[in-house]
């Protein structure tokens, strides 16, 4: 960690997962895929913040959101360019296997952002926590990227911006809501926690559903297949003569 920027301190969880992140980023193919995905996340986040600039009635926030959106678009371009360079130098590296996206997600979690209908204070609290999460993860990603200096430099450059975003959103939240800014932060924290729980529960439900369907396939279906086969053997093969009382009319469907 750079002692000149002590706020770039990864969370305990991100620090604990450092060996996992090192392993995830060590594969060149996975690196390309993840950089492309990060590029998309940054650009999408930039688009949402641009919308936030449109809907806010606070002139200072509008200017800051515009600068913020431009930063996020630039991050998207930086990630995509780096991925393209890596792909050009080793076109065979594309990896369609394990990506570890839930372990090493894109920075922000800005995909949860609902711009319309949010107050300035809620928006700032959400952005502050998202940027803080991004700064924490990008610090770890930068630190595990010793084997790829150009990518490491990109994380370093982006981290600088994310730290600025994290700080300005907190300063502005304190300006907009001097009395209740802590309450807004806690509400945003709980909302993030709830969304994380929902994501985890959805993932778990998917895994449990696959296990149950597999069990059903191998345990419940075989007896039915066996009974169908046995019933099939009892059916006469070939054409059979239909009794005259059942074949008297061809003027209706049944
Ligand atoms: Fe960013
Ligand atoms: Fe950011």
Cα of 208 to ligand 1 centre, how many Å?
A: 35
Q: Which ligand is nearest to the CA of 73?
A: 1
pLDDT in tens, 204-229: 999 999 999 999 999 988 999 899 88
For residue 113, give the nearest of 191, 201, 173 by alpha carbon.
191
Cα of 162 to ligand 1 centre, how many Å?
A: 6
Query: Average pLDDT for residues 61-85, to the nearest whole number?
Result: 96
Confidence check: pLDDT of 240 > 80: no
Q: Which ligand is nearest to the CA of 76?
A: 1
Q: Which ligand is nearest to the CA of 132?
A: 2
Contact status, residue 72 vs residue 43, Cβ threshold 8 Å: yes
Confidence check: pLDDT of 6 > 50: no
Query: Average pLDDT for residues 162-179, to the nearest whole number?
Result: 95
pLDDT value, residue 203: 86
Q: What is the dihedral of CA 222, 228, 229, 233, to 10 degrees?
A: 160
Contact status, residue 181 vs residue 169, Cβ threshold 8 Å: no
Return the percentage of the chain with pLDDT > 70, whole number: 85
pLDDT value, residue 117: 80
Query: Average pLDDT for residues 148-162, to the nearest whole number?
Result: 95
pLDDT value, residue 173: 96
pLDDT in tens, 50-67: 999 999 999 999 999 999
Confidence check: pLDDT of 1 > 60: no
pLDDT in tens, 97-145: 555 555 555 556 555 667 788 899 999 999 999 999 999 999 999 999 9
Cα of 80 to ligand 1 centre, how many Å?
A: 13
For residue 36, give the nearest of 96, 76, 95, 88 by alpha carbon.
76
Contact status, residue 42 vs residue 72, Cβ threshold 8 Å: yes
pLDDT in tens, 84-103: 999 988 766 666 555 555 55
For residue 188, give the nearest of 234, 143, 132 by alpha carbon.
132
Q: Would you place residue 4 in the very low, low, confident or very high pLDDT band (cuts 50, 70, 90)?
A: very low
Query: Average pLDDT for residues 193-200, to the nearest whole number?
Result: 87
Ion ligand 2 residue ranges (Cβ < 5 Å): 131, 162, 165
pLDDT value, residue 249: 64
The Cα–Cα gap between 54 and 56 comes to 6
pLDDT in tens, 13-47: 888 999 999 999 998 889 999 999 999 999 999 99
Confidence check: pLDDT of 177 > 90: yes
Contact status, residue 61 vs residue 119, Cβ threshold 8 Å: no
């Amino acid at each position: 960690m750079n002692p000149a920027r002590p706020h770039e301190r990864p969370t305990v969880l991100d620090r604990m997962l450092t060996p996992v992140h090192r392993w995830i980023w060590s594969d060149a193919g996975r690196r390309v895929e993840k950089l492309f995905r990060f590029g998309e996340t940054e650009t999408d986040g930039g688009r949402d913040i641009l919308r936030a600039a449109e809907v806010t009635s606070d002139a200072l926030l509008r200017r800051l959101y515009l600068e913020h959106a431009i930063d996020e678009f630039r991050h998207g371009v930086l990630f995509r360019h780096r991925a393209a360079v890596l792909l050009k130098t080793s076109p065979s590296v594309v990896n369609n296997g394990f990506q570890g996206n839930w372990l090493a997600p894109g920075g922000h979690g800005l995909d949860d952002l609902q711009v319309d209908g949010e107050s300035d204070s809620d928006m700032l609290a959400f952005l502050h926590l998202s940027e803080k999460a991004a700064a924490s993860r990008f610090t770890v990603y930068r630190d595990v990227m010793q084997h790829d200096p150009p990518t490491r430099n990109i994380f370093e450059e982006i981290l600088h911006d994310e730290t600025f975003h994290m700080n300005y959103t907190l300063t502005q939240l304190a300006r907009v809501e001097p009395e209740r800014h802590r309450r807004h932060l806690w509400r945003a924290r709980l909302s993030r926690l709830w969304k994380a729980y929902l994501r985890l529960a959805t993932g778990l439900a998917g895994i449990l559903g696959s296990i149950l369907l597999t069990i059903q396939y191998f345990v419940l279906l075989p007896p039915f297949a066996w009974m169908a086969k046995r019933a099939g053997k009892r059916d006469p093969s070939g054409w059979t003569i239909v009794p005259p009382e059942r074949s008297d009319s061809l003027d209706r469907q049944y």
